[in-house]
Copies of this chain bind each other. A is one copy, B any other.
């Protein structure tokens, strides 16, 4: 209802809630999880979450957790749209490296106007995904993500295609790029060692053994033919 501008901190909280709800799958996210993700104390989270609840941006059940209202989701998706458009722009138009764009976009996403957002979108030809394969929310708040699993969960003996990789850790991204584990790549799932042992995959003609952390950071879809979808 109240139409005050959201502060940077409020925007960051909404973005974090959205991210964690999606990642962890549940329908509520807890104070400590949020605090860890944001690099902030749990007490700080409690008070901010109350403020956001007062503003109608989240629903808050004490001791249970927090979720986004429609208004909160809208705001979070707008930030996410800014973020992913910026990542794409920085990468494609300004030649910034894959692993650099996340941090830069994190700062810029709060500062760009709707006008600039639109011009960036147009300059890029209205892209559907960012450099890490993540879908870019539409202007009207639709986020259409394909149904994915993690590479870690993929069936040995099958072939999958990389849809998206986590973009938060620059070092991980550099590593993935060296291994050619980038969106669009086709990956043979060779075999999985027992007891959490490494996952053996073949990509771009090379075989690699991947640890769980790496394989969990990669989202894949079953192999498909390259259809000119649309």
Interface residues of A, Cβ cutoff 8 Å to B? 90, 93-96, 100, 103-104, 107-108, 110-113, 115-116, 119-120, 123
A133–B94 Cα gap in the complex (Å)? 24
**Which of B94, B107, B112, B119 is close to A119, meaning CB atoms less than 8 Å apart?**
B94
Query: Which chain B residues lie closer than 8 Å to A113 at the CB level?
Result: 103-104, 107
A112 / chain B contacts, CB cutoff of 8 Å: 104, 107-108
CB distance from A35 to the nearest CB of B (A): 23
Identical chains bound together, number:
2
Across the interface, name the chain B residue whose C-beta is closest to A100: B115
Chain B residues in 8 Å Cβ range of A96: 115-116, 119
A111 to B123 CA separation, bound complex (whole angstroms): 21
Tell me which residues across on chain B come within 8 A of A108, comparing CB atoms.
Answer: 108, 111-112
Q: Taking the nearest CB of chain B, how far is it from the CB of A103, in angstroms?
A: 8
- 4 additional contacts (CB under 8 A) given A94-B120, A100-B115: A90-B116, A96-B119, A103-B113, A104-B115
Name the residue among A94, A95, A100, A104 with the largest chain B CB count within 10 angstroms: A94
CA distance A123 to B95 in the complex (A): 10
CB-CB nearest in chain B for A111: B107
A42 to B123 CA separation, bound complex (whole angstroms): 44
12 inter-chain pairs at a CB distance below 8 angstroms, sorted by A residue, are A90-B116, A93-B93, A94-B123, A96-B115, A96-B116, A96-B119, A104-B113, A104-B116, A107-B111, A107-B113, A108-B108, A110-B111
Distance, CA A39 to CA B112, complexed state (A): 22
Q: Which residues of chain B are within 8 angstroms of A100 by Cβ–Cβ distance?
A: 115
Q: In this complex, what residue of B is CB-closest to A118?
A: B94
Query: A91–B108 Cα gap in the complex (Å)?
Result: 18
Question: Which residues of B have CB within 8 Å of A116?
Answer: 90, 94, 96, 104
What residues of chain B lie closer than 8 Å to A90, measured between beta carbons? Answer: 116
Chain B, Cβ-Cβ closest to A109? B111
Most buried by B among A90, A95, A119, A123: A119
Cα separation A107 to B114 with both chains bound (whole Å) = 13
Contacts of A103 in B (CB 8 A): 113
Chain B hits for A94, CB < 8 A: 116, 119-120, 123
